[in-house]
Amino acid sequence: MWILIILLVILLILAVLGIKIVRQSEVYIIERLGKFHKIADAGLTFIIPFVDHVRSIVSLKQQTMDVPPQDVITKDNVTITIDTVVFYRILEPAKAVYEIQSLKKGIEYLSITTIRDIVGKMDLDSTFTSRDLINDKLRAILDEATDRWGCKVDRVEIQNITPPPDIRDAMEKQMNAERNKRASILQAEGERQAAVLKAQGEKEAEILQAEADKEAKIRRAAGEAEAIRKVAEAKADEVKLVYGAMMKANPDDKLVQLKSLEALKDVANGEANKVFIPFEATSALSSLGAAAEMLNEKKENKENKETK
Query: String of b and e for 60-91 (b: at least 16 CB within 10 Å)?
Result: eeebebebeebebebeeebebebebebebebe
Please tell me the distance from the alpha carbon of residue 294 to that of residue 298, in angstroms, as a whole number.
Answer: 6
Please tell me the distance from the alpha carbon of residue 137 to that of residue 118, in angstroms, as a whole number.
Answer: 8
The predicted-structure confidence for 237-273, as pLDDT tens digits, reads as follows 665 666 666 666 555 555 555 555 555 555 455 554 4
Please tell me the distance from the alpha carbon of residue 232 to that of residue 174, in angstroms, as a whole number.
Answer: 86
Strand order in the sheet with 26-32: 35-40, 26-32, 52-59
The predicted-structure confidence for 109-139, as pLDDT tens digits, reads as follows 999 999 999 988 888 888 888 888 889 999 9
Give the chain's domains with CATH numbers.
16-59 (no CATH), 63-163 (3.30.479.30)
> Amino acid letter at 144?
E
The β-bridge partners of 80 are 72
- Predicted TM-score of the model (pTM): 0.54
Helix residue ranges, H only, the chain:
2-18, 93-98, 103-119, 124-129, 131-145, 165-249, 253-268, 279-307
pLDDT at 129: 83
